[in-house]
Amino acid sequence: MTTTASTSATPTVPTKKQADERSAIHTVRQLWPYIWPDDRPDLKLRVVGALVVLAIAKIITVFVPFFYKWATNALSGSQPAGAAVAGVAALVTVPIMLVIAYGAGRVLLNLFNQLRDALFARVSEHAIRKLGHRSFVHMHRLSLRFHLQRHTGGLSRTMDHGMKGVDAIVDHIILNTLPTLLEFLLAAIIIAWQFNLTYLGVIVATIGAYVWFTVVASNWRIALRRDMNASDTEANSKAVDSLLNYETVKYFGNEEMESNRYDVSLARYEAASVKTWTSLAWLNIGQTVIFTIGMTTCMVLSGLAIMNGTQSLGDFVMINALLIQLSFPLNFIGTIYRELKQGLADVEAMFDLLEVPEEVQDKPGAPVLVVSEGAVRFEDVVFHYDANRPILKGISFEVPAGKTVAIVGPSGAGKSTISRLLFRFYDVTGGRITIDGTDIRDVTQKSVRAAIGMVPQDTVLFNDTIAYNIRYGRPAASEAEVQEAAAMAQIGPFIETLPKGYDTEVGERGLKLSGGEKQRIAIARTILKAPPILVLDEATSALDTHTEREIQGALDRVSRGRTTLVIAHRLSTVVNADEIIVLEGGRIIERGRHEALIRADGLYASMWNRQREAAEAAERLRQVEESDTLGLVVRGPKAGLEPVA
Q: Give percent of the chain above pLDDT 90.
A: 4
Q: Quick check: helix, strand or coil at residue 631?
A: coil
C-beta separation of 381 from 443 below 8 A: no
Query: Would the CA dihedral through 229, 231, 236, 237 be positive or negative?
Result: positive
Per-residue pLDDT, 618 = 67
pLDDT digits (tens, 9 = 90+) for 271-285: 888 888 888 888 888
**Average pLDDT for 176-183:** 74
- Of 385, 394, 386, nearest to 587 by C-alpha is 394
Neighbour-count burial for 481-515, b at 16+ CB within 10 Å, e otherwise: bbbbbbebbbbbebbeeeeeebeeebeeebeebeb
C-beta separation of 464 from 505 below 8 A: yes
Residues 6+ apart with CB under 8 A from 353: 135, 138, 139, 155, 158, 159, 162
Per-residue pLDDT, 334 = 67
Q: What is the CA radius of gyration of the chain?
A: 37
Please determine, for residue 110, whether its predicted confidence score (pLDDT) is greater than 70: yes
Question: How far apart, in Å, are the Cα atoms of 151 and each of 154, 155, 426, 581?
Answer: 5, 6, 19, 35
Rounded to 10 deg, the angle between the 178-194 and 41-76 helix axes is: 30
* Range with the poorest average pLDDT among 215-224, 562-571, 624-633: 624-633
**Average pLDDT for 19-42:** 67
**Cα(123)–Cα(121) distance, integer angstroms:** 5
More confident residue, 321 or 165: 321
Question: How far apart, in Å, are the Cα atoms of 197 and each of 64, 188, 259?
Answer: 21, 9, 64
Rounded to 10 deg, the angle between the 479-488 and 515-529 helix axes is: 120
Per-residue pLDDT, 637 = 46
Give the count of beta carbons closer than 10 Å to the beta carbon of residue 129: 13
Q: Give percent of the chain above pLDDT 70.
A: 77
* Range with the poorest average pLDDT among 133-147, 151-165, 496-510: 151-165
Per-residue pLDDT, 378 = 93
pLDDT digits (tens, 9 = 90+) for 300-358: 888 888 888 787 787 788 888 788 877 777 777 767 777 777 677 777 777 777 777 77
- For residues 528, 529, 531, 536, the Cα torsion angle rounded to the nearest 10 degrees is -80
Query: Would the CA dihedral through 66, 120, 29, 219 be positive or negative?
Result: positive
**Average pLDDT for 397-418:** 86
What angle (nearest 5°) sits at the alpha carbon of residue 158, between those of residues 154 and 162?
Answer: 170
Per-residue pLDDT, 85 = 47
- Measured in degrees and rounded to the nearest 5, phi and psi for residue 532 equal -75, -20
Please determine, for residue 151, whether its predicted confidence score (pLDDT) is greater than 70: no
**Average pLDDT for 477-481:** 88
Q: Which domains does the chain have, with CATH numbers?
A: 28-354 (1.20.1560.10), 371-451+531-645 (3.40.50.300), 463-530 (no CATH)
Please determine, for residue 111, whether its predicted confidence score (pLDDT) is greater than 70: yes
When mean pLDDT is compared over 78-87, 185-194, 360-369, the highest value belongs to: 360-369
Per-residue pLDDT, 377 = 92
Per-residue pLDDT, 523 = 84
- Of 106, 80, 62, 96, nearest to 314 by C-alpha is 80
Residue ranges of the alpha helices (H) in 14-151?
Answer: 16-35, 41-76, 86-91, 95-141, 144-149
**Average pLDDT for 522-530:** 84
Q: How confident is the model at residue 645 (pLDDT cuts 50, 70, 90)?
A: very low
**Average pLDDT for 607-629:** 73
DSSP 578: S
C-beta separation of 389 from 562 below 8 A: no
Rounded to 10 deg, the angle between the 333-354 and 197-244 helix axes is: 60
**Cα(555)–Cα(542) distance, integer angstroms:** 15
Per-residue pLDDT, 429 = 87
Pairing state between β 376-386 and 389-399 = antiparallel
More confident residue, 106 or 561: 561
More confident residue, 152 or 216: 216
Give the count of beta carbons closer than 10 Å to the beta carbon of residue 208: 12
**Average pLDDT for 168-184:** 72
Residues 6+ apart with CB under 8 A from 103: none
**Cα(337)–Cα(340) distance, integer angstroms:** 5
Q: How confident is the model at residue 265 (pLDDT cuts 50, 70, 90)?
A: confident
**Average pLDDT for 498-525:** 80
Please determine, for residue 642, whether its predicted confidence score (pLDDT) is greater than 50: no
**Cα(336)–Cα(271) distance, integer angstroms:** 26
**Average pLDDT for 126-137:** 75
Q: How confident is the model at residue 540 (pLDDT cuts 50, 70, 90)?
A: low
- Of 385, 409, 389, nearest to 397 by C-alpha is 409
Pairing state between β 563-567 and 404-408 = parallel
Q: How confident is the model at residue 641 (pLDDT cuts 50, 70, 90)?
A: very low
Neighbour-count burial for 594-624, b at 16+ CB within 10 Å, e otherwise: beebbeeeebbbebbeeeeeeeeeeeeeeee
Cα distance between the two ends of the chain: 85
More confident residue, 148 or 46: 46
Per-residue pLDDT, 351 = 77
- Measured in degrees and rounded to the nearest 5, phi and psi for residue 393 equal -125, 75
- For residues 449, 453, 455, 460, the Cα torsion angle rounded to the nearest 10 degrees is 50
Please determine, for residue 174, whether its predicted confidence score (pLDDT) is greater than 70: no
* Range with the poorest average pLDDT among 83-92, 496-505, 582-591: 83-92
- Of 392, 390, 365, nearest to 380 by C-alpha is 392
Per-residue pLDDT, 454 = 84
Q: How confident is the model at residue 11 (pLDDT cuts 50, 70, 90)?
A: very low
pLDDT digits (tens, 9 = 90+) for 358-372: 777 888 888 998 888
Per-residue pLDDT, 14 = 42
**Cα(620)–Cα(624) distance, integer angstroms:** 6
- Measured in degrees and rounded to the nearest 5, phi and psi for residue 291 equal -70, -35
More confident residue, 108 or 522: 522
Residues 6+ apart with CB under 8 A from 242: 249, 258, 261, 262
Q: Quick check: helix, strand or coil at residue 580?
A: strand
Q: What's the full length of the chain, in residues? A: 645
**Average pLDDT for 57-75:** 72
- For residues 614, 616, 622, 625, the Cα torsion angle rounded to the nearest 10 degrees is -100
Per-residue pLDDT, 102 = 61
